Amino acid sequence: MPKTEVILIQNIVGLGGESDQVKVAAGYARNYLIPHGFAVPLTGANKRRIEALKQRRAQRESDELNHMTELSRSLNKLVAIVSVKTGEDGKMFGSVTAGTIADQLKTQFDVALEKRKIHLEHPIRTLGEHEVELRLHQGVVTTLKVLVQSTTPLPEPAEPPPAEKRDDRRTEKRGRRPEPAAQIEAPVEKPAKAAKPAKAEKPEKGEKPDRKPRAPKGEKGGDDETA
């Protein structure tokens, strides 16, 4: 395929910046770059434009550097929220890519950022907060917090059964005899003391105690006289 040299008038990603002389396919230059005003053919007349293009390029890069430096400070304080669908186990369907994050920056914060400046080693496949590196400009690198959350409602936890009232009384353990209740001993009654015999009354002075009557003579107590 034949090649041709052109002078870039505008910055072309992956090709070069204004004032750069590059070789491209003849058809690419004829059908795309030159008709759209991105480049001009390399001729003597066009070479005189290179100095002016270099000055314009230097000014553009300076403005871009200042803009990206300020943008990095702002993005470092933001949290981009990405909503995804998940299964019942919390596992994501699909993944979050640099293009997804660029779309959310545009939607949520009206920040237009090329996805090539969002550096992801691997697509994000887990929920939670992630720090993503942004390479905004040569020498300007910052991080953006990305919160990946699920749009799938979580199942409601089952309500625990009502707690049973605790019985403070001690229950018997299986295989163990209950402890015998303390026996209440009835008070032992003491035997009543025997009543003391009444003392014989002493005769008053001047009185003689009664004497037993004497049996008449000739009688013996209890025996009949023999003839």
Amino acid letter for position 5: E
Q: So what's the pLDDT on residue 67?
A: 93
CB 93 within 8 A of CB 110: no
* Separation of alpha carbons 12 and 31, rounded Å: 16
Spatial distance between the Cα atoms of 10 and 37, rounded to a whole number of angstroms:
8
What is the spatial distance between Cα 62 and Cα 32, in angstroms, rounded to a whole number?
28
DSSP state of 205: T
H helix or E strand, kind and range, residue 71 = helix 50-75
- What pLDDT sits at residue 182? 52
What per-residue confidence (pLDDT) applies to 186? 53
Q: Tens digit of pLDDT per residue, the chain (227 long)?
A: 688 999 999 888 889 888 899 999 999 999 999 999 999 998 888 888 888 888 988 998 899 999 999 999 999 999 999 999 998 887 888 899 999 999 999 999 999 999 999 999 999 999 999 999 999 998 899 999 999 999 887 666 666 666 665 655 555 555 555 555 555 555 555 555 555 555 555 555 555 555 555 555 555 544 444 43
* Residue 19 near residue 50, CB atoms below 8 Å: yes
3-state secondary structure of 95: coil
Q: Which residue has the tokens 């917090």?
A: 145
State residue 30's pLDDT score. 92
Map out the domains of the chain with their CATH numbers: 3-48 (3.40.5.10), 72-150 (3.10.430.100)
Q: What is the pLDDT of residue 17?
A: 87
Structure pTM?
Answer: 0.54
Ramachandran angles phi, psi of 131, nearest 5°:
-105, 125
The total number of residues shown for the chain amounts to 227
